[in-house]
Structure 1
């Protein structure tokens, strides 16, 4: 069977993808493990199909899945890629030419305002609070615990 499979792939090299051709190097679509043995699994010999039928089923599944995928990729995928290219191109343009400079300008303005606020605080607020601290530093509070006795009177 291995010889016929190698012979088959050499005759029709584009029908099945090459296993070494990794088109998802970052594992974005790991959840899409949809090969035949991840979808159809016969757990033990009591649920086994005929060997020939199992092989034919696998080929029908692989080629129909690949054919439908490729057909939809051409009919729908290419227009979608145009839309996604436009969207991500515009997003990249706005991030590079508008958002990043605006963010940098904001950071610069905030830093500059912080310098002025720090200067005003050092010149006005800090001496004011130091003065309040000196004024109230001589205040002493003594708390005494006294019991106050009262008598209840009834008015008639």
Structure 2
């Protein structure tokens, strides 16, 4: 797996993972016709919303971003370790055991159930249905 040498500082969500949290002022507040506040209130509300959202987000990322990223990195490292060293080998062992069980049950079916099914098939194959009117 090739690793990135530099982080993209322009497009920080290239896979659009967080499109659902793109919240703009117009997505939250809207004044219908006949219920307009003064223009200066609306204009300053717009500025306060964007400034508050931006400042709060930046503050939270400064406060928690690096440690949260470290925790998520460790979490995904543990998941990767678990899959490589525990789950995948276990699934391989399980597949081996189930392969043997499949052969065993297949032989039991061929010996015990198949003759019965063949006999029923022969019995029912001799039934003739005639459709007569009147």
Same fold (TM over 0.5): yes
Give the equivalent residue in structure 2 for 1:104. 92
Count of aligned residue pairs for this structure pair: 110
Among 19, 22, 25, the alignment partner of 2:15 is: 25
Structure of higher RCO (CA pairs closer than 8 Å, 6+ residues apart)? 1
2:28 is the counterpart of 1:39? yes
* Partner Cα separation in structure 1 for residue 47 and residue 114 of structure 2: 85
Residues of 2 paired with 1:127 and 1:54: CA distance? Answer: 80
Deviations 1:97-143 (A, max 9, x none): 21012112201220122113323554x5359869xx7xxx9xxxxxx
4+ aligned runs moved over 4 Å, structure 1: 126-130
Deviation at 1:66, TM superposition (A): 0.7
Please point out which of 60, 67, 74 is paired with 2:48.
60
Partner Cα distance (1:84, 1:26) in 2: 19
Q: Which runs of 5+ in 2 are unaligned?
A: 1-9, 124-134
**TM-score scaled by structure 2?**
0.64
Name the counterpart of 1:78.
66
Structure having the higher Rg: 1
